[in-house]
Amino acid sequence: MSSYKIAILDGDGIGPEIMAEAVKILELVAERNKINFELCPAPFGASAYFSQGHPFPEETKIVCDKADAILKGPIGLNHEESRKIPVDMQPERGALLPLRRRYNTFANFRPVFLPKGLAHFSPLKPEVIGKGIDFIIIRELVGGLYFGKKEAGINEDGKRYVNESLEYNEDQIKRIAKVAFDTAQKRTKVLHNIHKSNVLKSSVLWNEIIGEVGENYPDVEVVHILVDAAATYLCLNPGQFDVMVMENMFGDILSDQGGGILGSLGLMPSACIGPNKAYYEPSHGSAPDIAGQGIANPYSMIGSVAMMLEMSLGLEDEAKNVWHAMQSVFALGFTTPDLSQPGVDAKMISTDSFGDMVAQELSKQ
Ligand code: NAD
Ligand code: IPM
Ligand code: MN
């Protein structure tokens, strides 16, 4: 029987609630496929800071080092609570970025897919949605402003100042460009390159390398779009996009906009892939405004499980089954409250009922 070690990092806020549903599905997948998942829970995030004194404790690093894949819930606190933690120990800087750096997870896949039957929850008009929304944002995840040099202090005029650099070298751009072209080649062979080369020198280099790498992919058409215009097109004509590639910060912002045009960030799973290790997490945060109420949408977390089955564990067919099971729940008219709208007939269910129904639908396949 094959066996995989999966690190389980619940995180903060709604993290434990949506992770419980992901684990439910993982356990069912194990049973159905006669494989063994050794689930290894470990503290991570603000909860780890309060219980262990560090948001990414040594014991968690060891668990992650040994794991075949890492499943991570969202981390973070609301603005007021976060300020009670020293800046460098806050879970974003103290845990999440170090996790990305440790495993060099440079390729972040963020699918933006509007499931059939959910079109009326999107804020976009049916004529704008057209045939549907189904594209993938490929976000560079370990470079740019997030990981560039930073300094802050008092300048010669006695004023407080800060300086953060957007840094990339050609190898970092080349490897994400290859991932993007490979992905485009497997889909509709159109790659939207998102940049800001009218202002940023980093984008000038980025585009140069996209051009060079593109020479090896003559069958892929590259469409260059400035990031500000891309934000508009996401609202006005999302159907034109299939694969989009961009640097770290642009990807952070446009992927949340992706959740926005679907109608909820709860529909946003993701995969973060490095050369030797990958971790899987929802694109959204810990949703402190709804934590503890049992109403969070676990689709993003269960979708992250599906991406892990496909991309780390070689269980492509079972990954499709999981996606299919989630679509079936929507097709039956059930949704969590984030997807409810006044006057729209939906059967609203809790986080754990959604997980139960996905399990039920998966069992039928
Ligand atoms: P958020 O993504 O947590 O929430 C934004 C809105 O989306 C809220 O109204 C929330 O209720 C809703 N939402 C998000 N996920 C949902 C789900 N699964 N089901 C239903 N509704 C959902 O963003 P925020 O409030 O700006 O950030 C909260 C915390 O999360 C911050 O500390 C931030 O740093 C952190 N964060 C962490 C990650 C991560 O772990 N990868 C990602 C983004 C934000
Ligand atoms: C995300 C989050 C993170 C990011 C934060 C929490 C550091 O917003 O994964 O999109 O900005 O990358
Ligand atoms: Mn984000």
What are 64-87's pLDDT values in tens digits?
999 999 999 999 999 999 999 999
Closest CA to 118 of 354, 340, 297: 340
Write phi, then psi, for 312 (nearest 5 degrees).
Answer: -115, -25
Does residue 343 surpass a pLDDT of 90? no
Q: Residue 286: nearest ligand to its CA? A: 1
Residues 122 and 233 in one domain: yes
pLDDT at position 122, please? 93
Read off the pLDDT of residues 262-302 as tens digits, 9 standing for 90 and up: 999 999 999 999 999 999 999 999 999 999 999 999 999 99
pTM beyond 0.85: the answer is yes
What is the rounded CA–CA span in Å between residue 198 and residue 84? 40
How close is the Cα of 58 to the center of ligand 2, in Å?
A: 22
Read off the pLDDT of residues 226-267 as tens digits, 9 standing for 90 and up: 999 999 999 999 999 999 999 999 999 999 999 999 999 999
CB neighbour list of residue 101: distance below 8 Å, 6 or more residues apart:
142, 147
pLDDT at position 341, please? 73
Residues 251 and 343 in one domain: no
Out of 19, 99, 264, 265, give the residue to mutate to test ligand 1, the one with the largest number of ligand atoms within 8 Å of its CB.
Answer: 265
Residues 193 and 101 in one domain: no
Q: Let me know if 196 is a catalytic residue.
A: yes
Q: Let me know if 252 is a catalytic residue.
A: yes
Give the bridge partners for 134, in sequence order: 113
Residues 205 and 144 in one domain: yes
Two structure tokens written together for 217: 């992919």
Q: Let me know if 228 is a catalytic residue.
A: yes
pLDDT at position 346, please? 74
pLDDT at position 281, please? 98
How close is the Cα of 286 to the center of ligand 1, in Å?
A: 4
Q: What is the CATH number of the domain that holds 340?
A: 3.40.718.10
pLDDT at position 117, please? 81
In the chain, the percentage of residues whose pLDDT exceeds 70 is: 99
Residues 83 and 144 in one domain: no
Range of the domain at 121: 114-268
Q: Let me know if 4 is a catalytic residue.
A: no
- Tell me which residue has its CA closest to atom 7 in ligand 2: 92
**Which residue's structure tokens are 């976009």?**
124
Residues 47 and 165 in one domain: no
Ligand 2 atom at minimum distance from 92 CA? 7
Helix (H, G, I), strand (E, B) or coil at 279: strand
Looking at this protein, which amino acid is placed at residue 226? L
Q: CB under 6 Å to ligand 2: residues?
A: 76, 92, 96, 252, 283
What is the rounded CA–CA span in Å between residue 286 and residue 50? 16
Out of 14, 79, 284, give the residue to mutate to test ligand 1, the one with the largest number of ligand atoms within 8 Å of its CB.
Answer: 284
Out of 89, 96, 265, give the residue to mutate to test ligand 2, the one with the largest number of ligand atoms within 8 Å of its CB.
Answer: 96
How close is the Cα of 363 to the center of ligand 3, in Å?
A: 33
Residues 132 and 254 in one domain: yes
pLDDT at position 66, please? 98
Residues 224 and 354 in one domain: no
Count of the separate structural domains present in the chain = 2
